[in-house]
Amino acid sequence: MRVLLVEDDRMIGASVQRGLRRDGIAVDWVQDGSAAESALASTPYDCVLLDLGLPRKDGIEVLRSLRAKRNTVPVIVVTARDVVPARITGLDAGADDYVVKPFDLDELAARIRAVVRRREGRSASRIEHQGLSLDPVTREAHLHGELLALSAREFAVLEALASRPGAILSRQQLEDRIYGWGDEVDSNAVEVFIHALRRKLGADFIRTVRGMGYMLPRSP
């Protein structure tokens, strides 16, 4: 997958480029609106990450002229914190999604995969449970339609529990699901992941069965 990153902040740009590359995404980085237009005119991208406040030509202008040319490449708008009008303007101008600075790189990568998949009209075999939806192919989790930012191991724990609602999985069983051979395992790693998942899903989503393990109740 090839992504055009349009970001004039060098620190953010460098870290996003590094982070996405680590996820196996090819990233071309430009730092102003005119350079973005040249890149878009010459290269087919799978997705564009577009900062709105840019030198030479601002992000909204770039987006509007892109859509005016009938270019339908998925665009994720990047906005500063709490700038609701900019977000709305971005979506109205044809953006597919937005992220707010500071954002989590895993979540950004997941959103990129999501807009690309949506554009391709693909679907996958999902695991559904109580408003939770897990996509084992893309490793994305949604709760009531909202994308959850989960680490790979948090996803694996949740996937193990959600694929068998009502079944109790011991700490050892969960460890076996999330660690490979030779991985170093902290003794309380599973508890840490469960804690993180409860923070994201709500305290009651995963039940502790004392002395036995964890489960997702069949009904709330």
Stretch that binds Ca ion, among 3-11, 17-25, 141-149, 171-179 (CB under 5 A): 3-11
32 forms part of the interface with Ca ion (CB under 5 A): no
Considering the complex, what minimum distance in angstroms separates the CB of residue 63 from Ca ion? 14
Q: Which residue carries 């799978």 as its tokens? A: 46
Torsion sign over Cα 82, 150, 72, 35: positive
CB of 39 to Ca ion, least distance (A): 17
CB of 91 to Ca ion, least distance (A): 18
* Nearest distance from C-beta of residue 30 to Ca ion, angstroms: 12
Q: Around 53, how many Cα atoms within 13 Å sit in the side-chain half-sphere?
A: 8
Going across the sheet that includes 132-135, the strands are 127-129, 132-135, 140-143, 146-148
Among 8, 32, 58, 107, binds Ca ion (CB under 5 A): 8
Beta strand extents in the chain (DSSP E only): 2-6, 26-30, 47-51, 75-79, 97-100, 127-129, 132-135, 140-143, 146-148, 207-209, 213-215
Residue placing its CB nearer to Ca ion in the complex, 10 or 122: 10
Site string for Ca ion, 34-63 (x = CB under 5 A): -----------------x-x----------
Cα 50 to Cα 12, 175, 185, 187, 220: the distances in Å are 12, 39, 39, 42, 41
Residues in the chain: 220
Q: Indicate the residue whose CB is closest to Ca ion.
A: 53
Minimum distance, C-beta of residue 111 to Ca ion, in the bound complex (Å):
19
Report residue 189 as tokens. Answer: 């790693």
DSSP lists the bridge partners of residue 205 as: none
| Nearest residue (CB) to Ca ion, 101 versus 118 | 101
- In the complex with Ca ion, which residue's Cβ is closer, 11 or 84? 11
Q: For Ca ion, give the closer residue by CB, 51 or 97.
A: 51
CB of residue 83 to Ca ion, shortest distance in Å: 11
**At CA 194, angle to CA 214 and CA 112, rounded to 5?**
125
Give how many residues touch Ca ion by CB under 5 A.
Answer: 3
Chain positions contacting Ca ion, by CB under 5 A: 8, 51, 53
